[in-house]
Amino acid sequence: MKAKVGAMTVVSSPVSGSRLDVWLSAMRPRTLPMALSPVFVGACFAEAFAGRINGPAVFVAALAAICIQIATNLYNDVGDFERGGDGPDRMGPARAAAGGLLTPEEIKRAAFGFFALAATGGLFLVSFGGWPILLLGALSILSGWAYAGGPAPISYSPFGELFVIAFFGLGAVGGTYWLCAGALHSEPLLAGLALGLFAAGVLMVNNHRDAVADARVGRRTLAIVAGPGGSRALFALMMAAPFALVVVMVAAAPERALWLAFGAAPFAWGHWGQARALFAEAPGPGLNRVLARTALTQALYAFLLGLGALI
């Protein structure tokens, strides 16, 4: 089963147990590596290419990223409920709002609380990064809310994948690098684009799988606009392009072992080569596996890329 969480979906089981279990399920902790991987890579690249790493800033940036992710997940739960997106044809686990496990009001209060925590951390980070970090932080929080909130939610448009690339990739890696180095170079931007493409691939799987249910509630996601064939092609591109970017990064910094990121290729190859078969099948366990494997590929790619930058 699957649940939309911010910019991604996670397979999980129905919610049961204590009220704490309900809250943890609504926060979707399995999505947090997507928020942390770009911070890790940005810090590693700062140490490698600028010779500087700001430990306190990186720590607070990681906490702020986690808070924004949790807030986005919570607001997505209640936002979909209020728009009727959690109907009987949704193939996910019990949602906190739709299942009556938590009230919409208390979910919203928690979401805004996490946004406020992220903003507090952001104010601390401004002392290191100045107005660029203030702007990036404000846009990140606004976009987290706008993903499922407001009159025109991003999740109801074809621009969700661009949102993911911008904030789960370019912004997170570039922002962390800026906090440490006080400058921005091509290498962290290339790395951010690569990580963002993997995260966009996760969203593409989600949206392809949910195309029928999403169309019912008026969504026009990229998967719906592109159609099944276009979704398969875009997903294959999103899985292949990060490895092409490794070639570019290696050419730009041959003294670093960035080629280690190719170690994640075997995990991606199954998706790239079998994208047509996986996307041709009916929504079900096959797509759940490709979803989990895509997230694993991004995490492994980020770890190897950061390690390669340091050695």
Which DSSP letter does residue 14 get?
P
Of 116, 113, 119, 149, residue with least CA distance to 133: 119
Residue that the structure tokens 């800026």 belong to: 178
Of 221, 201, 160, residue with least CA distance to 291: 201
pLDDT tens track, the chain, 311 positions = 344 434 344 334 444 568 888 999 899 888 899 999 999 999 999 999 999 999 999 999 999 999 999 999 999 889 888 877 665 555 555 678 878 888 999 999 999 999 999 999 999 999 999 999 999 999 999 999 999 888 889 999 999 999 999 999 999 999 999 999 999 999 999 999 999 999 999 899 888 888 888 888 889 999 999 998 898 889 989 999 999 999 999 999 999 999 999 999 988 776 666 565 566 666 655 677 777 788 889 999 999 999 999 98
pTM of this structure: 0.88
Question: Quick one: tokens of 158?
Answer: 């074809």
Task: Please check whether residue 205 is in contact with residue 86, taking contact to mean a CB–CB distance below 8 angstroms.
Answer: no
